[in-house]
Amino acid sequence: MTIVPLGEHIGAEVRDVDAGSPHAEETFAELRRALYRHSVLVFHDQDISDEQQVAFTRGFGRLQMTIASDPYGGGGPINRIANVDEEGRLIPPRDKRSLYQAGNNLWHSDGSFKSVPLKASMLSAKVVPPRGGETEYASLRAAYATLPESRKVQLEGLVAEHSMAYSRSQIAPGLMTEAFLKATPPVRHMLVRTVPETGEKALYVGSYASHVIGWDIEKGRALLEELLEWSTQPQFVYRHRWKANDLVMWDNRTCLHRGRPWDNGVYKRIMHRTTLAGDGPTVP
């Protein structure tokens, strides 16, 4: 395989790997190293089935099933991120289902609303719009590494509260089903986490992070907003412009991502996502 970096801080294209075929453990070991090193891996021309995507994901580690009450996962291995219903009809942009998915357009790390967040995610593009609908990725390692020393000292040991409810409250109230809210109570995460495989530190912020534990709510929120703004500066960001059959994998511990808008009342966009389970809680 060949690994071609896409930017200074984040992203690499992987060539000569067929995601639809089985691979030796050494190949997955090399791919894992590339994922930890670059945070985002891009594979082009991967016309794969859901079963092949699940098998390829499993090669990286332990597969994480979706939450049973998740309207787009239903407890299975595939999360369908799409603006069409089961019959392939466009879902109107003002529909509750579209608004729910609009949460993906806020900077986030998948599963940070859970006490054991998702380690990595893999997205397969089935149908993409002719323009817009990109996904952006921001390096939380570069964001941490470039902080002033005094800031790093200040952040040491801080814990933030993350919740699904806080993320979706930024879109519209009443978006979440009672069942899904019940299944996703607020959780706590370290504001700075260390990635065990590399020893590198990363900021852990995003739209689910609502305040800092033990701090005045507004003061903590202001800090989180400032750090989010810092982390998503253009020099830390890779923007992926999708082609059908692109497969993109990212390390949720070291990058944030967000979807970008497109003319979703006119064009279809259908993505299938699989995820890797996290290794444990971020708080001791």
Give 106 or 181: the residue with its C-beta nearer to Mn ion: 106
Helix (H, G, I), strand (E, B), or coil: what is residue 146?
A: coil
Partner interacting with residue 123 (select from Mn ion, ligand OGA, none; CB below 5-8 Å by kind): ligand OGA
Helix, strand, coil shares, percent, the chain, to 5: 25, 25, 50
Nearer to ligand OGA, 223 or 231 (CB): 231
Question: ∠ at Cα 60 (54, 61), nearest 5°?
Answer: 90
User: 273 contacts which partner out of ligand OGA, Mn ion, none, CB within 5 to 8 A by kind?
Assistant: ligand OGA
Written as one string, the DSSP assignment of 47-77 is: ---HHHHHHHHHTTS-EEPPPTT-TTTTTSS
- 75 contacts 68 by C-beta, under 8 angstroms: yes
Judged by CB under 5 A, which stretch of 52-60, 90-98, 105-113, 136-144 contacts Mn ion? 105-113
Binding site for ligand OGA (CB under 6 A): 81, 104, 110, 121, 123, 135, 257, 259, 271, 273
Query: 201 vs 273, which CB is nearer to ligand OGA?
Result: 273
Q: CB 233 → ligand OGA: shortest distance, Å?
A: 20
* CA distance to 99, 115, 158, 159, 201, per residue, from 284 (Å): 35, 11, 12, 11, 16
246: contact with Mn ion by CB under 5 A: no
Q: Residue 25 CB, nearest distance to ligand OGA (Å)? A: 27
Cα 208 from Cα 188, distance rounded (Å): 11
Nearer to ligand OGA, 212 or 228 (CB): 228
